[in-house]
């Protein structure tokens, strides 16, 4: 045997060693260089990105009174698999949480039905326990293995009023999460009212803490001593133009009535109060009873969650006559001296529109003061018949332009979601419905705020503000100040209407006369020059009672609209309610006499039947 | 007889010393990385005797001292004492089974005071020495069956004892000694048979119940085995029978039929591919037998027999595993093949280890900055899975550096073995290289996810005093043997 026969085998063996080396380098290359999924897997393994929730911005009223704030609440969660593993003394748990066995079963059932249920992760058992409720449970928490408590911050309200304005927060929807990566499942987001329209300002900015988590899920400390952590940024506080006392009085006065009150500070467009009745106490929607109360409110046929002030459209009735006077004067259809006859109504070629008894013929100022229907029908007839316009269509569209310039027919752009635009017809509308050959008499009811015209109570109040300002307005808005931020430009710059100052002075005189000697005598407030206009809007049922006014006549501080569904004459509900609100705002308190009146109105009930409203 | 014995330090191979020190330092730093926790940050704590790093440092010191002592022991002493050492180690091994405490089912540790040692580590040394000494005897001829089987006996005896200690992983290391037999003239076919048998067993059983991605009704294991049988038999035809033409024709046929049937099954009609594969193998057997008849090629018959034998072997493996072995024995094999983890937690160890290594990227997260290893995502991270720490903290660059140094170390051992002028020295050197090679291949392969989970340490890296001392003894003995190579007894 040749001793060197097998020498070349050293190359085979050495080659095998090198082959292994190359194979392993290739594998390492594919693991470490080509593949990047391991990096993210390692991160999700080791890093627990803990979200630090900022506190939501607070909301104050115009006098600095705290309206909306945050309160800790506790959600009780459980990990089904852990509970199953360790067993559970159900009776003991029910006792600790002060719930019945039936409650327990129903919470468990609800948790199982929820989207994204997993037996490995924390599931909601009960939500929004108060600190007191939780304190009792916390002592015994260790006995219920697999159960956990999660602290959250929920909204709390200082007053019983303003619910529909503040709105609501709730868990963010999947749709929103898909659209905005800021939100993660389980986050809260403003869903209604100011909470929704100022969500971005109120929410602040979430922070994160990078924690290291070991293989057993235990937190081992901060990653790189917190170098990558971000602190949460607290939400911005909002200050409203709202006067909470005004709001409370309004909601009190509107008890057992359906309708709205909107008060605006004319100079700024700030909403002083915005009542939508029936209203609800926002405090009902926090804490454990939230779910039940929310269900009750949202199934209520009178829709207390609807903000009628911006979502309800009504015929403005006689309050609208002021806008007509402005248009006719500006267009030269009438002068302040123009008189029209009224013999219990407007009579033309067999067409008749009734009016109440007053002297005749009558000029503009008393026509406004007594709310003469005929005067405004004649005015519209004269304007639409004027040869200033090529045809009635042009006249109609000119009229429409005036109305739009006063803020009707389109959204005013208030800082609340869900505002509707109301209805101002144009010539095309009538062409479509009546054919080309319609006459002023066909549409004449628009001049007295009936017919096709509908406005929101906000638009009526804004009309008051416009008159108070003698021809301009700032888009009405609730928020007057955002901490460290500025308001939208449209809430700072006035808009002009198409009517001139002189025309406005005439209307102001008419409205002042109405309070002194006309339909609004009940609106008089001692010591203040109040201007007002009633409205009694016809509709299928009993007339709606409306009032629009402002005070004082010069340098007005408050403009108001009151609208009470089926309240009858304007003077019955609209006027006294409007007067009380203005009095409280102007004097800071109600006189004894007014207090009695307020109580009396508060106790009055209008019966609406059981139909859905 | 020429005697040129100067100072021992002028004659030892400093290359291997340098590589050894490099590996030892890298290893110790890796243990620092693996056992460092975020809670304590004091670097001096690494030398604390109560810490694993401190213990390891102490063992490293002991090992080097032992190494220096070993350098003073003359080569001939080993030759003379090897039977005694072997018998002593075997006796100790058997004793261990009875006196060792049961640690996770393994009876391989003997506690002396606060330290535990694993006699299996010293059995490696004894076996290597015995093998070298036996093969170095005058007149030894491996092609003689009696000598060959005596060698196999020397290797298998400690293997059986270690299997008895329930350390199947460590037992497998002895298989690497067949590489030494190969170098010394054992038939390549024998080596191929041993390797192919191990591969069939591991692949077939390991993936026996893993459904294929493309064809869920088919298991990956058996299919892969049929392909491997084709590959091995074709390799035999080409290099053993030296029939390149036949090999080429059969290769073409096998590949095209396999590929075609695979594509048809995946994209057109799903059917049992195994039938095609078995038909193909049957055809190969028939073809070889016909060729053997026509051309009087006996080697073709052997290849045919190999194919039939391989199928029979694989079939019997499955049969034995599922029908003959008792459940706890089966579990042991399944654990060895990494099947147990799969059943319990979807290959948790390897999965986490790949995440740790993969997350290291090109340059790693930096020394002591690994998150996966610090946070104990990888079990056994300072022992069997130590390479994870390197992969995570040192990245691709660092991992490759370790692999290269290790490979250089093994190749240097082979080079040293080759320069020995007697069979004793060469066998000892090759045995050493083979053992390191086996540990290296299996351990790193397991950690990077291409070898089954067999719990054996990475020499000089994995935490463990016995392991470090055992490898050091193996190495330093060889250093002295190498230094003495010109000195003839």
CA atoms within 13 A on the CB side of A477: 23
Q: Does B429 touch chain A (CB under 8 A)?
A: no
Q: How many helices (H) and strands (E) does chain A have?
A: 23, 20
Range of the domain at A505: 244-280+306-603
Range of the domain at B307: 211-333
Listing DSSP states for B3-52 in one string gives -----HHHHS-HHHHHHHHHHHHHHHHHHHHHH--SS---GGGGG-TTSH
Contact at CB, B182 and A221, closer than 8 angstroms: no
Strand A238-240 relative to strand A59-60, pairing: parallel
Q: Does B391 touch chain A (CB under 8 A)?
A: yes
pLDDT at B488: 46
Please check whether residues A314 and A398 belong to one and the same domain.
yes
pLDDT-derived band at B489 (thresholds 50, 70, 90) equals very low
Please check whether residues A327 and A276 belong to one and the same domain.
yes
Please check whether residues A452 and A559 belong to one and the same domain.
yes
Q: What is the pLDDT of residues B107-118, one digit of tens each?
A: 777 777 766 777
Contact at CB, B450 and A10, closer than 8 angstroms: no
Please check whether residues B26 and B171 belong to one and the same domain.
yes
pLDDT-derived band at B342 (thresholds 50, 70, 90) equals very low
CA atoms within 13 A on the CB side of A330: 22
Please check whether residues A140 and A222 belong to one and the same domain.
no
Exposure string (b/e) for A261-299, b if CB count within 10 Å is 16 or more?
bbbbbbbbbbbbbbbbbbbbebbbbbbbebeebbeebee
Query: Rounded distance, CA A365 to CA A321, Å?
Result: 11
Report yes or no on B489 lying in a domain: no
Q: How far A115 CA lies from chain B's nearest CA (Å)?
A: 27
- By Cβ distance, the residue of A13, A20, A32 closest to B362 is A32
Q: How far A20 CA lies from chain B's nearest CA (Å)?
A: 7
Please check whether residues B141 and B232 belong to one and the same domain.
no
Closest CA to A160 of A291, A271, A68: A68
Total of domains in chain A: 3
Listing DSSP states for A352-377 in one string gives EEE-----SSB-HHHHHHHT-HHHHH
Please check whether residues B179 and B221 belong to one and the same domain.
no
Question: Which chain B residues have a beta carbon less than 8 Å from that of A2?
Answer: none
Q: What is the pLDDT of residues B5-37, one digit of tens each?
A: 567 777 888 899 999 999 999 999 888 887 766
Burial class (CB in 10 A: 0-12, 13-18, 19+), B51: middle
- By Cβ distance, the residue of B372, B433, B441 closest to A20 is B441
pLDDT-derived band at A38 (thresholds 50, 70, 90) equals confident
Specify the range with the lowest mean pLDDT, choosing from A39-53, B224-238, B420-434: A39-53
Please check whether residues B329 and B441 belong to one and the same domain.
no
Report yes or no on B201 lying in a domain: no
Please check whether residues B319 and B390 belong to one and the same domain.
no
Q: Does A56 touch chain B (CB under 8 A)?
A: no
Query: Rounded distance, CA B128 to CA B150, Å?
Result: 14
Please check whether residues B365 and B309 belong to one and the same domain.
no
Domain limit, last residue, from A157, A188, A207? A157
Say which residues have a Cβ less than 8 Å from residue B41's Cβ, sequence separation at least 6: none
Report yes or no on B464 lying in a domain: yes
- Cβ atoms of A577 and A532 within 8 Å: the answer is no
Please check whether residues B467 and B389 belong to one and the same domain.
yes
Specify the range with the lowest mean pLDDT, choosing from A127-131, A300-304, A331-335, A421-425: A127-131
Report yes or no on A374 lying in a domain: yes
Q: How far B385 CA lies from chain A's nearest CA (Å)?
A: 15
Q: Is the pLDDT of residue B39 over 60?
A: no
- Cβ atoms of B258 and B276 within 8 Å: the answer is yes
Report yes or no on B478 lying in a domain: yes
Please check whether residues A251 and A365 belong to one and the same domain.
yes
Report yes or no on A555 lying in a domain: yes
pLDDT-derived band at B50 (thresholds 50, 70, 90) equals low
List B residues 83-142 in contact with A (Cβ-Cβ < 8 A): 141
Please check whether residues B218 and B311 belong to one and the same domain.
yes
Q: Any idea how long chain B is? A: 489
Q: Does B143 touch chain A (CB under 8 A)?
A: yes
Total of domains in chain B: 2
Q: What is the pLDDT of residues B392-444, one digit of tens each?
A: 888 999 999 999 999 999 999 999 999 988 889 999 999 999 999 999 999 99
Give CA separation, A206 vs A44, A202, A311, in Å.
19, 12, 33
pLDDT-derived band at B2 (thresholds 50, 70, 90) equals very low
Query: Rounded distance, CA A332 to CA A335, Å?
Result: 7
Exposure string (b/e) for B278-309, b if CB count within 10 Å is 16 or more?
eebbeebbebbbebbeeeebebbbbbbebbee
Query: Rounded distance, CA A245 to CA A252, Å?
Result: 10
pLDDT at B48: 62
Specify the range with the lowest mean pLDDT, choosing from A334-343, A348-357, B466-475: A348-357
pLDDT at A384: 92
In a 3-state reduction of DSSP, which class is residue A155? strand
- Cβ atoms of A239 and A480 within 8 Å: the answer is yes
Question: Which chain B residues have a beta carbon less than 8 Å from that of A34?
Answer: none
A150-154, A336-340, B202-206, B322-326: which is most confident:
A336-340
- By Cβ distance, the residue of A13, A28, A46 closest to B400 is A28
Please check whether residues B56 and B31 belong to one and the same domain.
yes
Average pLDDT value for residue range A582-604: 94
A213: closest chain B residue by CA: B375
Query: Rounded distance, CA B461 to CA B30, Å?
Result: 7
Closest CA to A166 of A262, A280, A250, A263: A280
Question: Which chain A residues have a beta carbon less than 8 Å from that of B450?
Answer: 23-24, 27
Report yes or no on A42 lying in a domain: no
Specify the range with the lowest mean pLDDT, choosing from A191-200, A533-542, A572-581, B262-271: B262-271
Q: Does A1 touch chain B (CB under 8 A)?
A: yes
Please check whether residues A119 and A192 belong to one and the same domain.
no
Please check whether residues B400 and B461 belong to one and the same domain.
yes
Closest CA to B469 of B17, B129, B119: B119
Q: Is the pLDDT of residue A20 over 90?
A: yes
Please check whether residues A76 and A53 belong to one and the same domain.
no
Please check whether residues A485 and A594 belong to one and the same domain.
yes
Instruction: Give the relative orientation of helices A321-331 and A457-468 as an angle to the nearest 10 degrees.
Output: 50
Computed over its alpha carbons, how large is the radius of gyration of chain B?
25
Report yes or no on B405 lying in a domain: yes
In a 3-state reduction of DSSP, which class is residue B485? coil
Domain limit, last residue, from A183, A210, A240? A240
CATH code for the domain in which residue A433 is found: 3.40.710.10
pLDDT at B345: 42
Contact at CB, B396 and A28, closer than 8 angstroms: yes
- Cβ atoms of A550 and A559 within 8 Å: the answer is yes
- Cβ atoms of A341 and A374 within 8 Å: the answer is yes
A45: closest chain B residue by CA: B372
pLDDT at B1: 37
Report yes or no on B205 lying in a domain: no
Please check whether residues A516 and A392 belong to one and the same domain.
yes
Say which residues have a Cβ less than 8 Å from residue A455's Cβ, sequence separation at least 6: A313, A314, A315, A316, A320, A408, A422, A463
Please check whether residues B16 and B160 belong to one and the same domain.
yes
Interface test with A, best of B138, B370, B371 (most A CBs within 10 A): B371
Query: Rounded distance, CA A167 to CA A240, Å?
Result: 14
Report yes or no on B197 lying in a domain: no
Q: How far B404 CA lies from chain A's nearest CA (Å)?
A: 7
Please check whether residues A324 and A451 belong to one and the same domain.
yes
Report yes or no on A2 lying in a domain: no
Report yes or no on A27 lying in a domain: no
Report yes or no on A497 lying in a domain: yes
Domain limit, last residue, from B289, B307, B333? B333
Query: Rounded distance, CA A450 to CA A443, Å?
Result: 10
Please check whether residues B328 and B376 belong to one and the same domain.
no
CATH code for the domain in which residue A181 is found: 3.90.1310.10
Interface test with A, best of B240, B358, B423, B424 (most A CBs within 10 A): B358
Q: Where are the beta strands (DSSP E) in A80-216?
A: 123-129, 147-157, 168-171, 188-192, 207-213
Q: What is the pLDDT of residues A552-592, one digit of tens each?
A: 999 999 999 999 999 998 889 999 999 999 999 999 999 99
Report yes or no on B311 lying in a domain: yes
Give CA separation, B431 vs A11, A588, B155, B177, B410, in Å.
16, 103, 11, 6, 11
Average pLDDT value for residue range A136-147: 83
- By Cβ distance, the residue of A14, A39, A216 closest to B361 is A39
Please check whether residues A522 and A507 belong to one and the same domain.
yes
Q: How far A3 CA lies from chain B's nearest CA (Å)?
A: 9
Interface test with B, best of A24, A47, A221 (most B CBs within 10 A): A24
Question: Which chain A residues have a beta carbon less than 8 Å from that of B182?
Answer: 9, 13
Q: What is the pLDDT of residues B168-187, one digit of tens each?
A: 778 889 989 999 998 888 88
Say which residues have a Cβ less than 8 Å from residue B336's Cβ, sequence separation at least 6: B168, B169, B452, B453, B454
Average pLDDT value for residue range A226-247: 89
Report yes or no on A512 lying in a domain: yes
Residues above pLDDT 90, as percent of chain B? 25
Please check whether residues A144 and A191 belong to one and the same domain.
no
Q: Is the pLDDT of residue B43 over 80?
A: no
Angle at B242 between CA B241 and CA B247, to 5 degrees: 90
Domain limit, last residue, from B310, B333, B356? B333
Average pLDDT value for residue range A7-14: 88
- By Cβ distance, the residue of A18, A39, A215 closest to B376 is A215
DSSP B322: I
Report yes or no on A44 lying in a domain: no
Element of type H or E holding A492: none
Give CA separation, B218 vs A31, B200, B269, B318, B321, in Å.
28, 17, 13, 16, 20
């Amino acid at each position: 045997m040749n001793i060197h026969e097998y020498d070349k085998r050293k190359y085979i063996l050495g080659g095998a060693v090198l082959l292994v080396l190359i194979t392993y380098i290739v594998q390492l290359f594919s693991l470490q260089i080509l593949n990047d999924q391991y990096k993210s897997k390692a991160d999700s393994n080791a890093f627990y990105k803990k979200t630090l929730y900022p506190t939501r911005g607070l909301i104050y009223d115009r006098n600095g009174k705290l309206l909306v704030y945050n309160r800790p609440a506790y959600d009780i969660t459980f990990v089904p698999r852990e509970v199953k593993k360790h067993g559970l003394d159900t009776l003991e748990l029910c006792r600790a949480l002060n719930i019945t066995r039936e409650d327990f079963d129903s919470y468990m059932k609800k948790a199982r039905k929820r989207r994204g249920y997993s037996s490995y992760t924390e599931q909601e058992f009960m939500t929004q326990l108060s600190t007191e409720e939780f304190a009792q449970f916390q002592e015994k928490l260790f006995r219920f293995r697999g159960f956990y408590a999660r602290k959250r911050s929920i909204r709390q309200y200082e007053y019983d009023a303003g619910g529909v304005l503040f709105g609501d927060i709730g868990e963010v929807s999947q749709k929103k999460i898909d659209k905005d990566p800021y939100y993660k499942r389980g986050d809260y987001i403003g869903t209604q009212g100011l909470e929704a329209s100022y969500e971005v300002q109120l929410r602040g900015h979430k922070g994160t803490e990078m924690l290291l988590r070991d293989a057993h899920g235990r937190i081992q400390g901060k990653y790189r001593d917190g170098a990558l952590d971000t602190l949460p940024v607290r939400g911005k506080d909002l200050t409203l133009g709202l006067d909470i006392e005004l709001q409370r009085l309004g909601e009190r006065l509107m008890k057992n009535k359906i309708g709205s009150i909107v008060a605006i500070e004319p100079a700024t467009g700030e909403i002083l109060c915005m009542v939508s009745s029936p209203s609800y106490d926002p405090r009902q929607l926090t804490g454990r009873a939230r779910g039940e109360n929310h269900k009750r409110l949202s199934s209520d046929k009178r829709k207390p969650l609807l903000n009628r002030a911006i979502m309800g459209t009504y015929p403005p009735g006689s309050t609208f006559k002021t806008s007509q006077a402005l248009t006719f004067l500006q267009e030269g259809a009438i002068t302040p001296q123009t008189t029209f006859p009224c013999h219990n109504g407007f009579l033309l070629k067999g067409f008749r529109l009734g009016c109440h008894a007053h002297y005749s013929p009558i000029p503009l100022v008393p026509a406004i003061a007594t709310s003469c229907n005929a005067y405004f029908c004649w005015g519209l007839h004269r304007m639409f018949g004027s040869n200033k316009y090529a045809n009635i269509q042009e006249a109609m569209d000119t009229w429409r332009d005036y109305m739009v310039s006063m803020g009707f027919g389109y959204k005013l752009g208030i800082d609340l979601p869900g505002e509707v635009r109301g209805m101002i017809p144009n010539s095309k509308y009538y062409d479509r419905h009546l054919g080309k050959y319609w006459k002023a008499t066909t549409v004449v009811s628009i001049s007295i705020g009936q017919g096709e015209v509908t406005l929101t109570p906000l638009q009526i109040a804004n009309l008051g503000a416009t008159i108070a300002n003698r021809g301009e307005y700032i888009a009405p808005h609730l928020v007057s100040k955002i901490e460290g931020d500025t308001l939208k430009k449209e809430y700072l710059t006035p808009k002009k209407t198409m009517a001139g100052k002189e025309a406005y002075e005439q209307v102001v005189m008419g409205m002042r006369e109405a309070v002194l000697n006309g339909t609004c005598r009940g609106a008089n407030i001692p010591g203040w020059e109040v201007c007002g206009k009633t409205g009694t809007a016809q509709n299928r049922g009993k007339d709606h009672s409306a009032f629009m006014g402002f005070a004082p006549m010069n340098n007005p501080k408050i403009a108001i609209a009151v609208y009470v569904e089926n309240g009858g004459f304007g003077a019955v509900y609209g006027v006294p309610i409007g007067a009380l609100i203005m009095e409280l705002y102007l004097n800071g308190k109600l006189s004894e006499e007014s207090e009695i009146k307020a109580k009396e109105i508060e106790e009055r009930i209008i019966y609406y039947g059981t139909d859905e409203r | 007889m020429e005697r040129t014995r100067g100072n021992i330090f002028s004659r030892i191979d400093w290359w291997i010393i340098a590589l050894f020190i490099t590996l030892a330092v890298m290893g110790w730093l890796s243990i620092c990385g693996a056992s460092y926790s975020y809670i304590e940050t004091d670097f001096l704590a690494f030398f604390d005797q109560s810490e694993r790093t401190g213990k390891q440092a102490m063992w490293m010191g002991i090992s080097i001292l032992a190494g220096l002592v070993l350098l003073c022991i003359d080569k001939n002493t080993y030759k003379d004492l090897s039977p005694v050492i072997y018998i002593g180690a075997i006796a100790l091994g058997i004793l261990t089974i009875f006196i060792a405490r049961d640690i996770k089912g393994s009876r391989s540790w003997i506690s002396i005071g606060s330290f535990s040692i694993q006699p299996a580590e010293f059995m490696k040394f004894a076996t290597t020495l015995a093998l070298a000494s036996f093969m170095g005897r005058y007149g030894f001829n491996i092609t003689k069956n009696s000598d060959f089987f005596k060698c196999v006996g020397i290797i298998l005896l400690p293997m059986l004892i270690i299997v008895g200690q329930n350390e199947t992983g460590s037992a497998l290391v002895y298989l690497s000694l067949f590489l030494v037999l190969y170098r010394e003239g054992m038939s390549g076919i024998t080596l191929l048979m041993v390797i192919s048998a191990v591969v069939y067993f591991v692949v077939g059983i390991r993936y026996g119940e893993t459904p294929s991605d493309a064809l869920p009704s088919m298991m990956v294991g058996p299919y892969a085995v049929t392909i491997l049988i084709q590959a091995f038999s074709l390799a035999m035809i080409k290099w053993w029978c030296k029939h390149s033409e036949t090999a080429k024709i059969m290769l073409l046929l096998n590949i095209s039929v396999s590929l075609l049937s695979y594509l048809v099954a995946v994209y057109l009609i799903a059917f049992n591919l195994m039938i095609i594969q078995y038909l193909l193998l049957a055809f190969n057997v028939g073809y070889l037998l016909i060729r053997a008849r026509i051309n009087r090629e006996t080697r073709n018959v052997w290849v045919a027999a190999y194919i039939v034998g391989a199928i029979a072997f694989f079939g019997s493996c499955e049969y034995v595993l599922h029908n003959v072995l008792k459940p706890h024995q089966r579990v042991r094999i399944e654990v060895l093949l990494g099947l147990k983890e799969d059943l319990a937690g979807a290959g948790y160890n390897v999965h986490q280890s790949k995440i740790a290594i993969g997350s290291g990227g090109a340059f790693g997260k930096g020394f002591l900055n690994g998150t996966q290893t610090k946070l104990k995502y990888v079990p056994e991270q300072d022992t069997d899975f130590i390479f994870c720490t390197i992969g995570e903290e040192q990245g691709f660059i660092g991992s490759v550096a370790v692999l290269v140094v290790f490979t250089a170390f093994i190749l240097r051992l082979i080079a040293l073995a080759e320069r020995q002028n007697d069979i004793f020295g060469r066998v000892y050197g090759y045995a050493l290289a083979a053992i390191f090679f086996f540990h290296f291949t299996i351990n790193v392969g397991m950690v990077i996810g291409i070898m089954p989970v067999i719990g054996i340490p990475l020499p000089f890296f994995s935490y463990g005093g016995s392991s470090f001392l055992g490898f050091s003894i193996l190495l330093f003995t060889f250093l002295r043997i190498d230094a003495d190579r010109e000195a003839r007894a």
